[in-house]
Amino acid sequence: MAAMYQEWQTTILVFAVVLISLAAGAVLRMALARLARRLHPVRHVWTHGLLSGASLPLQMLIWVLGIALAGQLLLQHGGDPPPDSLLAHGLGPVRDVLVIAVVMWFLLRAVNQIQSNLLARARDRERELDPTAADAIGKLTKASVVITAILMMMQALGFSIAGLLAFGGMGGIAVGFAAQSLVANLLGGLTIFASRPFKVGEYIIIPGTDLMGGVEHIGWRATRLIGFDCKPFYVPNAMFNTQPVINHTRMTNRRIMEDIHIRYADIDAVPGIVADGRALLREHPGIKHDFFAFNFSSCGTYSLKLSLYAFTVSTDYNDYMDVQEDVLLKIADIIRRHGARMTGPVSTVDMPQLQGQSPVPFDPAAGSGQAALSPMPPSLPPVPGA
């Protein structure tokens, strides 16, 4: 009778511990979630992040500890278990591993939530917070948490950390040779995060290749870009260690560089055209005034060449096109007001004059570059001495 009472007492005690643990975990999770919802993520960045990250892991931690306590009660009041039983030897290490896993889960959730809160606060206060740097710090923090947790789990399971590190040092050489591309991509990702040659949202160009696009995501192995055709493509991070990168977004001005050709017959109008063109650039609101050039640069094989070199104030592509269009049209108007004409490639054809025939006339109505030729005589005059 006493043995039956002891057995039922142990069963009831274990059941009560498990039930209380489940109920306490659920209540605590709901309380923390409600408290986190009351806190504003922008005004309470850290507190909101910790409470939001702790709700589910704390519930799981209470469950793990409750079940571990129930198992301990079974060992103490359920009789002496066999010395080699799994419950006697595995309860402690399994409990420690689960506790470490739950703490790791909490820290990872908290890091993600705090990172999101910091970015939201920067946007709310209209401050610039580099999302690439924030993402890099978050990834490094999470990697440190995971590596530390794994080492603690292995130590809890009875592995020697010193021996593991020594084995890792020897095996690292073999792994490095076997995974050179992976290691190179990881180092390339670290280089991007450290030097920040570009960040998410910027447009980059890799010279010597057809790779250009907007940066959407910077990962540990590859960087995702989106091209002009709205198709994403992935660039291995190792390429950024060996290839130059042009950051198109960080340009300070856009360049206008054009060659304008006028006729040789308008050589006397060149000084006036150049002077009025410089005055136009000097007064134009869309042109950067600290440096520009408009000069008579060379005498080409078919025309006189005027070179225009200037920078726009705005880097927006639509503004740049509007300014360039306005400047070119006004320069064309200046040329026209000086009585000159713009021209393109032309060619001269020398037509021999036949004996007894008038010169071949040119008829402009016949079309550009075409001549209306007089009809050929029915027979050519005899060649003397033939």
Give backbone dihedrals phi and psi of 205, rounded to 5 degrees, phi first: -130, 135
What distance lies between CA 334 and its chain's CA centroid? 44
Question: How large is the average pLDDT for residues 49-53?
Answer: 84
Mark residue 279 as left, alpha or beta (left: phi above 0; alpha: psi -120 to 50; beta: remaining): alpha
Name the percent of the chain lying above pLDDT 90. 25
- 16-38 pLDDT, tens digit per residue, is 878 888 888 888 888 888 888 88
Instruction: In whole angstroms, give the CA distance from residue 246 to residue 211.
Output: 11
Q: Given pLDDT bands bounded at 50, 70 and 90, which one contains residue 368?
A: very low
Q: What is the DSSP letter of 263?
A: -
Q: Quick check: helix, strand or coil at residue 114?
A: helix
Q: What local confidence, expressed as pLDDT, does residue 380 receive?
A: 46
Lowest mean pLDDT among 221-225, 319-323, 326-330: 221-225
**CATH architecture observed for domain 181-249:** Roll (2.30)
The neighbour count for residue 376, using CB atoms within 10 Å, is: 9
201-236: per-residue pLDDT in tens? 899 999 888 889 999 988 878 899 998 888 899 999
For residue 2, the SS3 value is helix
Give pLDDT tens digits for 243-286.
889 998 889 899 999 999 999 999 999 999 999 999 999 999 99
Tokens 């919802």 belong to residue: 37
Residue 106 has pLDDT above 80, yes or no: yes
CA distance 157 to 137: 30
**pLDDT tens per residue, range 272-281:** 999 999 999 9
Phi, psi angles (nearest 5°) of residue 299? -100, 105
Domain 181-249 matches domain 253-337 at the CATH topology level: no
Give the start-to-end residue ranges of the domains of the chain: 2-129+139-157, 181-249, 253-337
Q: Which residues contact 194 (CB under 8 A, 6 or more apart)?
A: 136
Using one digit for the tens of pLDDT, what is the confidence trace for 134-179? 777 777 788 888 888 888 888 888 777 666 666 555 555 555 555 5
What class has domain 253-337? alpha beta
- Cα separation, 136 vs 369, in Å, equals 65
pTM above 0.85, yes or no: no
Residues 267, 304 contacting (CB under 8 angstroms): yes
